Structures are given as C-alpha cells and as structure tokens.
Amino acid sequence: MEVILVDTRHAGNIGSTARVMKNFGFVRLTLVNPTPRAHMEAIKMGVGAEDIIENARIVNSLQVAIEPVVFTYAVSRRVRRLRKEVFNLTSIAQKIVEPGEPVGLVFGSEKFGLSNDDLRICDNIVSIPTSDRHPSLNLAQSVAIVLFELTREDFDISRPRGRYERKPVTMGEKDLLFENMVDTLQLARFFDRPNPERTITHLKDILNRAGLSEKDTRILLGMFKQIKRKILEENERGPS
C-alpha cells in the first residue's frame, strides 16, 4: 500500500501524514512536487516516523508516481462528473486488492485537492462523507480516516494473504498497452470522427475498469503490435 501526496504545500502536513501512516502500519510514502525545503519541518511534525520521511519517493508528476502500482484510489471531497466509480469509504477495504500487491491512495493539495486531470488518471474515487457546513478536512486527517477504515475490523495489513493466481498489471504496463492501442487505432483511422479526444478518454476509462492481469496485458499488447505491423506493411505496399 502506498500513500501518494500531490502538490503538498505545507511541510508539516507531510510529517503529520508520515506519523499517521506509522500509527496504522503503513510505510510507503510518495511525494509529487512537494514544497521546497520541506525536510526539516516534516521531520519536526513526524515524530517517530522519520524513517518514512527519509525513505519517501519524490517525483515530479502523478503519472510517474503511479507507474509501479496496480490500482489507484483518488481521495476527493468533491466528486466531479467523470466516468469513475465512486466508492463509499466504509466499503473500500472490501474493494481494495490484497496486501503485497502495490496499491496507491492518492491525496491532493491542502487548498485545491486533486485536479480533474489527476482524477482522470486514477482508477476510482473515494469520497469521505463530511458535513455540508464545514466539509474541508486537514490533509493528515483525511489520510488518518482512510487508513483507519482500511485497518479496522481485523483488516491486518501485515498479515500474509494467499498469492494471486492472476498477477495484476502495473499502471506503467497498462499505460504502455494504452499507447499501443491508440497508435494502432489511429493507423486504422478509428478516430476519424467528431470528438476523438472524448473517445480516447472513454477508451482509457474502459481499460482502467477492465481489471487486466499481467498475462492479459501481454496478450493484448502483442495483438495490437501485430495489427499495427500489418497496417504499416499494407500502407508501404500501397493499393494493389
């Protein structure tokens, strides 16, 4: 399980998040474009969780952050009109993949949360129910609530589970398949229609919902590469 913080502006929130992670037994933290010179303030607020801060992965985009994970849940207070499944927080523990397989929990910045672009590249959205009068939560509070839901009712993240018969595909492998799909469909003139960008976005959503295994992805990738090769060969030969 990996906690991913996007565009965190206050270093103290990084430290507080690390401390919350330590409370619930989580250790993997990724920071996307954190505020400069955040280290010392984060250490100050993350008492007892210095190792999580020291070992945090720092990257420059959410796309890079999620490449090693299998599935991503974006935690967002506001649910926009996107083709994403929205999970009730209390049911997330039953939906999430087994421990040992990399899953990303994505949290946005303190002021703006996650952008629409961020939400689009995540698989699903988790919404924390709050009062309409004062809906905003502190970043570390949001992380604590989500991690608590994942660990309560004997959901022990350190307990070994049975291995998957189907090895899940990482986001990076899924992106490679999607790029080849789009390239092949462009060669086949599939996108010669109104609003091709909307069609491409819809295809990405379908792929994210498909729950592909590593083997599924390998077969589909080989299939699209072969189709693309045949189209290019036909184009080189020209009309008979």
pLDDT at 227 over 60: yes
In the sheet that 2-6 helps form, which strands lie side by side, from edge to edge?
57-59, 28-32, 2-6, 103-107, 71-75, 124-127, 85-88
Work out the pLDDT band at 160, boundaries 50, 70, 90. Answer: very low
2-151 placed in CATH 3.10.450.50: no
Q: Going by C-beta distance under 8 Å and a sequence separation of 6 or more, which residues neighbour residue 13?
A: 5, 45, 110, 138, 139, 140
Percent of the chain with pLDDT over 70: 82
Burial of 15 (0-12, 13-18, 19+ CB in 10 A): buried
pLDDT at 165 over 90: no
Which residue has tokens 């849940």? 73
Q: What is the mean pLDDT of residues 114-141?
A: 84
- Write the pLDDT tens digit of every residue in 74-95: 998 766 666 666 777 877 766 6
- Write the pLDDT tens digit of every residue in 26-48: 999 999 988 776 566 666 677 78
Residue 126's φ and ψ, nearest 5 degrees, are: -110, 125
| Alpha carbons 178 and 49: distance in angstroms, whole number | 38
Q: What is the mean pLDDT of residues 121-127?
A: 86
| Alpha carbons 17 and 142: distance in angstroms, whole number | 9
* Domain chopping of the chain, boundaries: 2-151, 171-237
Q: At what angle do helices 171-187 and 196-209 cross, to 10 degrees?
A: 140
Q: What is the mean pLDDT of residues 113-140?
A: 84
Higher pLDDT, 176 or 134: 176
**CB contact at 8 A, 47 and 23:** no
Q: What is the 3-state composition of the chain as percent helix, strand, coil, each rounded to the nearest 5?
A: 45, 15, 40
Residue 159's φ and ψ, nearest 5 degrees, are: -80, 130
pTM value is 0.67
The token duo for 67 is 């490449």
pLDDT at 143: 93
pLDDT at 205: 83
Q: What is the mean pLDDT of residues 190-203?
A: 86
